[in-house]
Amino acid sequence: METYEQIFEKYKAAFETALADYLSKVSFKPDVLNESFRYSLQIGGKRLRPVLMFACARMLGGKEQDVAPFAVALELIHTYSLVHDDLPGMDNDDFRRGQPSNHKKFGEGQAILAGDALLNEAYALCFQESRRGRTYLNAAEQICLNAGARGMIAGQAADLYYQGNASAGKTETDYIVRNKTGKMIVSAVTVPAYVYGMDENIVSLLAEYGKNLGYLFQITDDMLDVNGDFEKLGKSVGKDERENKLSYVRLYGMEECRSLAGYYCGLCEKVLDQLPFETGFLADTARFVLNREY
């Protein structure tokens, strides 16, 4: 019987093949744009979101190829968000995935443009997939909504706005995480359901799982910023405290965060119990995030 790690690596390998196929068909001028666009995509990463999308496609009776362009689009959006997040005007980090951040390698202006290109190429993929029919259009719309001013960008804006604000608390933190982190994970798990025309109840349950997994992911991320290892994380640690950022550790402390992480992992499992599918991989993913070291 395959382990969780083996199944994860199979989905990840399938995604890397899809990404390589996409990259083989695109090239940009000037060369610096082509290089900076590819750089942040190809220096690694967990690929959690495309893996979740492929796993959900399989769970719903489909196959990876059905959602591969959407998986590539989602990873393009995720990568753009990291490129911009690392900029001096945002989180100001010199490293990403153990390598120099895009702006450290190519300069701030080129990094901004690389991020813009990643986002626009993602939207182009979504438009192309929308031509396949109504269900693909619905899936594409969700990706765009969750990535934009009603989702990830709203969360990032709030994250910057409340930095150093002593009066900000749980309400503001939950809003940031629900949008900045959670909405992209919600896209990963609901896109296959939209593609296959699943009923509203299935979509809602998957969205609830994604939302709770987003909270769980951010809680463990905040904890790793305190006690994580640069070699494993591939990015700077201790930045939340240095920059007085709103985080779960700042709100609750490490011990209560451990309990809160367990609570959200439990919520993920309860939601999955309501789905009429084999949800073992999704449950294992929640437990992996709970115990992750990177």
- The pLDDT of residue 1 is 87
DSSP secondary structure of 149-192: TTTHHHHHHHHHHTTT-TT--HHHHHHHHIIIIIHHHHHHHHHH
Other beta carbons within 10 angstroms of residue 215's beta carbon come to 24
State the Cα–Cα distance between residues 26 and 42, nearest whole angstrom: 14
**What's the chain's Rg over C-alpha atoms?**
18
pTM for the complete prediction?
Answer: 0.95
- The pLDDT of residue 15 is 98
- How many structural domains is the chain composed of? 1
The distance of Cα 147 from the centroid of its chain, to the nearest Å, equals 10
- The pLDDT of residue 242 is 79
State the Cα–Cα distance between residues 142 and 134, nearest whole angstrom: 13
- The pLDDT of residue 243 is 75
Query: What is the CATH number for 83?
Result: 1.10.600.10
Q: What is the mean pLDDT of each run of 10 residues along the chain (294 residues)?
A: 96 98 97 97 93 98 98 98 95 90 97 98 98 98 97 97 92 97 98 98 98 98 89 71 87 96 98 98 98 90
Length of the chain: 294
Range of the domain at 20: 4-291
- The pLDDT of residue 235 is 64
